[in-house]
Structure 1
Amino acid sequence: MAGNFKKSKYRPKPNYWLSNVSVTLLLFLAGLLGLSWLHSNELINYLKENVNLTVELHRDIKNAELKKVTSSIKELDGVKAGSVQLISKEEGFQNLKSEFGEDFLDDDFPNPLQDMIVLNLNAVDVEKKKVDALKSSIRALSPGVSQVYFQDELFDTAIRNMNLVNWGMTVIGFLILLIAVFLIHNTIKLSLYSNRFVVKTMELVGARWGFIIRPFLSKSLVYGLICGIIAILALAGLGYYIYYVYPSILTIFNPQSTMLIMAGVLILGLLIQAVSTVFVVNKYLRKNMSDLF
């Protein structure tokens, strides 16, 4: 009997490492989906604010009229501050030479270009109705304005496709997270299965449910914190690698929102572990001793 009693210390232990690995992978996936969704929106806004609206001017426009039109455009609603740029026909001609070579046009051929004003719009104002209204306002500024160009259809198609991908990724990610949470809950349930008799025995000797749950809850919170930190470090490592390969990613990087998502990953890790642990322990407490076999 004594030998059997001593061997009791070798009873199965809760398989916490398996549930912790599962939770860490879930948190990494959740954080990755959150960051992808966030930065896809940032990318869309970046693209919106970097599509040029080109104002072509008549060749015989006077300098005074040209400056007046430029100043008036800067004051229009929807125009991104600091984006209005005047490109003279001589400057445009030199740009073409630098791009296609000095001999791309015969010396006797006159400069075919016209003065242009190039500007960008605020992201919230890049929609068909607002862009059309802005184009009409620019045309009405002066008879010296010849044409106003904006690649509406091509740009709208690109944004529409990006939004579809964004929403599709969100729906698929949400379904994956639901499945992962269900699997992790079952993993935690199995990890606590070996302690079901300990839980019930403590209740039978008069321990309150809160007292019984407390040690399991404390351990689960510690594990949740560790899983969250590991997931955040993995996300940070992935982010650094992407930045190393594509340094331009900084143009769409939003530090405040990224920190919020990282904090959400940590809170999610604590919640998953805590809620699943309390639910499983309560389930064992509600059962009769005979139902535990």
Structure 2
Amino acid sequence: MSRASDRMYQSRLRSSNITVVVSIALVLFLLGLFGLIVVNSNDYAEHLKNQFEIEAYFKEAKDQRDIDKEKETHQAFVDSLRQRAFIKSVKYVNKQEALLIAKNQLGLKKEDVDLFEEGLFPPSVLMTIKPQYVDSAQVDSITKIISGYEIIDSVNDTSSLAGIYQRIDNIIYWLVGLAAVFLIISIVLINNSLRLKIFAKRFTIKTMQLVGAKRRFIIAPFVIQSFLLGLLGAILALLALGILWYYAAPKLHLSIWHNDFIWIIIGILAVGILIAVVSTFLASWRYLKLRTDQLYYS
């Protein structure tokens, strides 16, 4: 009869431990998923900002003297742009290159391109803007500055695109906020799972105290076990995240590894272990302070 009781107790203990580990792993997996989304959203937004370009088209020279020195005039203007604080890089596009770009964009064949008039597409300057200047107000200001030059005929309208990039930043801030909220929910859920586990052992804790065991001696095994359960749950969450990202990253055209992933790994391990240990310590300490009769309705 005693062996049957021991087996039943061990079975319940294993079931309780498995439930706690799975609960911790699931919560940390979802928290890590938020982290992956935030890190890669920020990375993708920065990538887009680094590719942000403004193209300005030169006026057509009508006077023969201006036509003769057109290339030198354009090159001097391009060189002056490189001194601007908002410019990351500048590229001069002559008429022949403009024709080839049009061909590629329109998907034309060589024989189709020959039908175009020579010089149909004007020369232009392609400016890549530094990421910190990519927002609607600053891009609009840059566009006005470039348009103000007498040599420039028109500048492509990119203010709406800059606005989209700015909204991506706002979305990232919301994601960070949601991740913080979910972290709080994670703490509450993991805490409740461990409190239920300690609640089931409250009589054991009180019995040990009544026979003279010190509080440190009573609490230590529970804390060590919770440390291991939290670590195991965190490792399972990281394994699940790693497998998910290994298959998802190539399909999303994102890199398998990002330098900020190390902070996600550290964060998940820290949250899993810290919450497990602190929750167990506080719950155990609470039952040590209660009277024996209070255990029945606590």
Category of TM-score, reference length = shorter chain:
0.7 to 0.9
Give the corresponding residue for 1:114: 122
**DSSP-derived class of the 1:182 partner:** helix
Cα distance in 2 for residues equivalent to 1:164 and 1:58: 38
**DSSP-derived class of the 1:147 partner:** strand
The alpha-carbon distance between structure 1 residues 180 and 19, as it changes in their structure 2 partners (threshold 3 A), is same
Shift of 1:162: 3.0
1:53-111 per-residue CA deviation (whole Å, 9 max, x = no partner) reads 0121123362222221111212211222xx32221111111232342234546747343
Contact 2:28–2:186, Cα closer than 8 Å, also in 1: no
Give the corresponding residue for 1:222: 228
**DSSP-derived class of the 1:100 partner:** coil
Cα distance in 2 for residues equivalent to 1:75 and 1:208: 73
Contact 1:39–1:254, Cα closer than 8 Å, also in 2: no
Greater shift in the superposed pair: 121-130 or 32-41: 121-130
Pairing of 1:109-258 with structure 2 (within 5 A): 109-139=117-147, 143-156=150-163, 158-246=164-252, 248-250=253-255, 255-258=258-261
The alpha-carbon distance between structure 1 residues 108 and 100, as it changes in their structure 2 partners (threshold 3 A), is closer
Cα distance in 2 for residues equivalent to 1:131 and 1:108: 33
Greater shift in the superposed pair: 142-151 or 228-237: 142-151
Q: Which has the higher contact order (CA 8 A, sep 6+)?
A: 1
**DSSP-derived class of the 2:154 partner:** strand
**TM-score normalised by the chain length of structure 1:** 0.85
Give the corresponding residue for 1:69: 77
Gaps of 5+ in 1: none
Contact 2:136–2:160, Cα closer than 8 Å, also in 1: no
Cα distance in 1 for residues equivalent to 2:290 and 2:181: 32
Shift of 1:25: 0.9
Cα distance in 1 for residues equivalent to 2:177 and 2:266: 22
Pairing of 1:255-270 with structure 2 (within 5 A): 255-270=258-273
**DSSP-derived class of the 1:86 partner:** strand
Shift of 1:195: 2.0
Contact 1:16–1:188, Cα closer than 8 Å, also in 2: no
Match of 2:283 among 266, 280, 283: 280
State the identity %. Answer: 26
The alpha-carbon distance between structure 1 residues 183 and 132, as it changes in their structure 2 partners (threshold 3 A), is closer
Gaps of 5+ in 2: 62-66
Cα distance in 2 for residues equivalent to 1:160 and 1:71: 29
Contact 1:128–1:152, Cα closer than 8 Å, also in 2: yes
The alpha-carbon distance between structure 1 residues 128 and 180, as it changes in their structure 2 partners (threshold 3 A), is closer
1:102-144 per-residue CA deviation (whole Å, 9 max, x = no partner) reads 454674734321111112112111123432343344345x532
Contact 2:60–2:122, Cα closer than 8 Å, also in 1: yes
Pairing of 1:67-106 with structure 2 (within 5 A): 67-80=75-88, 83-98=89-104, 99-102=107-110, 104=112
Aligned residue pairs total 283
Contact 2:31–2:182, Cα closer than 8 Å, also in 1: no
Give the corresponding residue for 2:64: none
Structure 1 counterpart of 2:6, one-letter code: K
Shift of 1:27: 0.9
Please, what is the CA RMSD of the aligned residues? Answer: 2.6
Match of 1:291 among 290, 294, 297: 294
Shift of 1:168: 4.3
Shift of 1:264: 0.8
Cα distance in 2 for residues equivalent to 1:226 and 1:122: 44
